[in-house]
Amino acid sequence: MKQVRIGLLGFGTVGGGTATILNQTLKTIERRLNGQITLKIEQVAVRDLSLSREADVDKLSFTDSAMEVVENPQVDIVVELMGGTTIAKQCIERAIELGKPVVTANKALIAEQGNQLFKLAEQKAVPIAYEAAVAGGIPIIKALREGLSANQIEWVAGIINGTGNYILTEMKKPGADFSEVLKTAQALGYAEADPTFDVEGIDAAHKLTIMASIAFGIPLQFEKVYTEGISQVTAEDIQFAKQLGYEIKHLGIASRSDNGYSLRVHPTLIPDSVLIAQVNGVMNAVMVSGNHVGSTLYYGPGAGAGPTASAVVADIVDLVRGLHQPPDDRVPALGFGLDQLETASVIDIDAITTAFYLRFFVKDNAGVLAKVTSILARFNINIELLHQEPSNQNPDDATLVMITNAVPESDFNAAVRALESLDSIDGKIARIRVDALD
């Protein structure tokens, strides 16, 4: 039986999970490889050799030099799981130069520098696999790139950050507060000490960049993704949304239109009748709409040792199967050859048309609602749903909550500025986009 040897860069949660899966599931993997190939971890690079490891490490060889692993002549496939965009990039480039296939879970590196890496890989006829970079254990890359290849993808919308989804789920509970829920998420290990990447949408933007590129056949364009976090969403917003028949989710949305592509990450009200609205806790889910298949939903754990390592090992198996396949017969990394990628523009957020949820305080005086509706009408904004109740903060105020029709964002922003200039409105207006996902 032929042995394919793996060089593992990183032995944290996912690296240790990868070693565990290969140890526990090797017989099944060998069967999937027709009983002709076995896999072995040849060498592992870690930052600190003195640390104890939870995974079974008795038969593993460790080094603190990642490049040593890449250049080890006994290593056939390089698996990069250490993260970052500097040393990881250097190691992947070197592996490609040496003709060694690469598996990575590095969403930031793929989203920000994948165009260059895939170009180098194509020149050297070396495959790069990265299923684990998006949505952990959900095989969304393969679904978009291969399973739905008969379709023109119209849009993709996903809950692709478990930390943010956990926070919004917990904020449904009575008395919940964003800062307190975030502390709980950190204590449980769902959020980092610095949660910026999760709660401000950067992590989701990396993942959306990758999905949009595969879905539409466009270059990776992370810098053009509109990104908005969840720190301004209140428990009050979540409760009002529920009363109106909606759930608030932090979504990554990519869609095509006649004048380009929309790439955006932001809190979104979605009807509670849509399946993805019921995805709670740390779970991920992605909806994809194709012109032939219609809407499909992919659901599962988006992080963790087992789910993410499962995707890593699946990529290893795929690469091993295709080691001797002619490069032109392989599935392109982005589903389209680099010379087939479109250079269509990404639409600025101000030109996007969506419905909106608004919440604001008004002085409980006669004629206030008439002033509000008059300003909205000036910008061709209609009120589709309206809710009013006494304010908990000031007995002289009322809370107005409304959902509008779909309007260009630039018009909506102008209307909000006009509303906030009224003496009868107290403070800033809370606003969240609304999408029916249909």
DSSP assignment of 156-201 equals: EEEE--HHHHHHHHHTTSTT--HHHHHHHHHHTTSS-SS-HHHHTS
* The pLDDT value given to residue 389: 86
* The pLDDT value given to residue 387: 92
Residue that finishes a domain, picked among 316, 340, 364 = 340
Contact present, 405 and 355 (Cβ < 8 Å): yes
User: Both 266 and 152 in a single domain?
Assistant: yes
User: Both 249 and 391 in a single domain?
Assistant: no
User: Both 149 and 192 in a single domain?
Assistant: yes
* The pLDDT value given to residue 95: 98
Residue that finishes a domain, picked among 271, 301, 331 = 301
Sequence-separated (6 or more) residues with CB below 8 Å from residue 421: none
pLDDT tens column, 366-412: 788 899 999 999 999 999 999 988 877 677 788 999 999 999 999 99
User: Both 324 and 232 in a single domain?
Assistant: no
CATH classification at residue 284: 3.30.360.10
User: Both 361 and 326 in a single domain?
Assistant: no
User: Both 242 and 114 in a single domain?
Assistant: no
Task: Calculate the alpha carbon distances from 19 to 11, 15, 41, 131, 174 in Å.
Answer: 9, 6, 8, 17, 42
pTM attached to this predicted model: 0.95
User: Both 358 and 386 in a single domain?
Assistant: yes
Which residue reads 């908990």 in tokens?
392
CATH classification at residue 379: 3.30.70.260
Which residue reads 């980092």 in tokens?
192
User: Both 244 and 390 in a single domain?
Assistant: no
Token pair listed for 114: 């994948």
User: Both 409 and 262 in a single domain?
Assistant: no
User: Both 214 and 261 in a single domain?
Assistant: yes
CATH classification at residue 323: 3.40.50.720
pLDDT tens column, 69-92: 999 999 999 999 999 999 999 999
> Judging by beta carbons within 10 Å of its beta carbon (0-12, 13-18, 19+), is residue 326 exposed, middle or buried?
exposed
Which one is catalytic: 100, 107, 207, 249? 207
User: Both 360 and 380 in a single domain?
Assistant: yes
* The pLDDT value given to residue 2: 93
User: Both 29 and 133 in a single domain?
Assistant: yes
Helices (H), 286-436: 305-321, 368-378, 409-420
Spans of the chain below 50 pLDDT:
none
Sequence-separated (6 or more) residues with CB below 8 Å from residue 106: 80, 81, 83, 84, 85, 88, 130, 133
Residue that finishes a domain, picked among 239, 270, 301 = 301
How many structural domains does the chain have?
A: 3
142 is catalytic: no
Token pair listed for 267: 């809190």
Question: For the chain, how far is it from start to end, CA to CA, in angstroms?
Answer: 51
User: Which structural domain range is residue 86 located in?
Assistant: 2-137+305-340
